[in-house]
Amino acid sequence: MYGAGKIGVFDAHADCSPDVLGHLHAHGTPVRRLIEDEHVPARNFIQVGLRGYYPSDELFAWMQAKGMRSHYMAEVERKGWDVVLRRALEEALDGPRYLYVSVDVDALGPAYAPGTGTPEPGGLTTRELFPMIRRIAHEIGIVGMEVVEVAPAHDPGYTTALNAHRIVLEALTGLAMRKKGIKGRHYLHPIAAGSARARGRTTPA
Ligand SMILES: [Mn+2]
């Protein structure tokens, strides 16, 4: 229906291996397949949250050569979340009109999402990810989204399920704001955000 658009991916892993133990279709290969089979141009892939032992130098080189736009946690460490968030939002606005968002729950650190197959320390916090998802849905608009890699068997405290659920709600909130015609960047309810109180109002205007 929408054709080849853009894909915004939140993930600890680049998932662009040519194969996993000889298997072409495995959880570490989908990005490679999408690009090599020309479903989505590489430059329309925006990745946020990459870290850990992956990718290898070889994959680094492949990703660079293809022109993927990848944001590693090292970039967050160096430049701060606000800068990376702004860049990723700009990239999401660039190019094709349609944006699909894929959230691998392991983009969050294991403190926020222990229930996943390949947890990777040092990830995003919920306070970083939630506004990002809401802002993408509101300011850029999305045609679809998914939250993947929640593993209930490893999630005894429901932390991962709660946060995965909230990721979806943040996206729905952004879509609702868009539908309602709320304009501007990083809109927050003035009372909830403290602005109304700062002006001496304690009840809704
Ligand atoms: Mn992952």
The DSSP bridge partners found for residue 145 are 101
Confidence (pLDDT) at 145: 95
41-45, 69-73, 113-117: segment of lowest average pLDDT: 41-45
Segment 167-178 mean pLDDT: 97
How far away, in angstroms, is 123 Cα from ligand 1 center?
A: 11
Confidence (pLDDT) at 4: 73
Mean residue pLDDT across the chain: 91
Confidence (pLDDT) at 75: 96
Segment 105-131 mean pLDDT: 96
Check whether 161 has a pLDDT greater than 60: yes
Please name which of 125, 118, 113 lies closest in space to residue 76, comparing C-alpha atoms: 125
How far away, in angstroms, is 106 Cα from ligand 1 center?
A: 5
How would residue 203 be classed by pLDDT, with cut points 50, 70 and 90? low
How far away, in angstroms, is 36 Cα from ligand 1 center?
A: 20
pLDDT 10s digits, 75-86: 999 999 999 989
Confidence (pLDDT) at 162: 98
How would residue 202 be classed by pLDDT, with cut points 50, 70 and 90? low
> CA–CA distance from 102 to each of 29, 107, 131 (Å)?
14, 11, 15
How far away, in angstroms, is 165 Cα from ligand 1 center?
A: 17
Cα–Cα distance, 117 to 50 (Å, whole number)? 16
Q: Does domain 7-180 have CATH number 3.40.800.10?
A: yes
pLDDT 10s digits, 13-57: 999 899 999 999 988 898 899 899 988 888 888 999 999 988 889
How far away, in angstroms, is 201 Cα from ligand 1 center?
A: 45
Cα–Cα distance, 132 to 86 (Å, whole number)? 10
Domain ranges of the chain: 7-180
Cα–Cα distance, 115 to 79 (Å, whole number)? 29
Confidence (pLDDT) at 198: 58
How far away, in angstroms, is 57 Cα from ligand 1 center?
A: 18
pLDDT 10s digits, 146-160: 999 999 999 999 999
Confidence (pLDDT) at 94: 85
Segment 107-136 mean pLDDT: 96
Please name which of 15, 2, 95 lies closest in space to residue 47, comparing C-alpha atoms: 15
Check whether 176 has a pLDDT greater than 80: yes
If one compares 201 and 56, the residue with the highest pLDDT of the two is 56
How far away, in angstroms, is 177 Cα from ligand 1 center?
A: 29
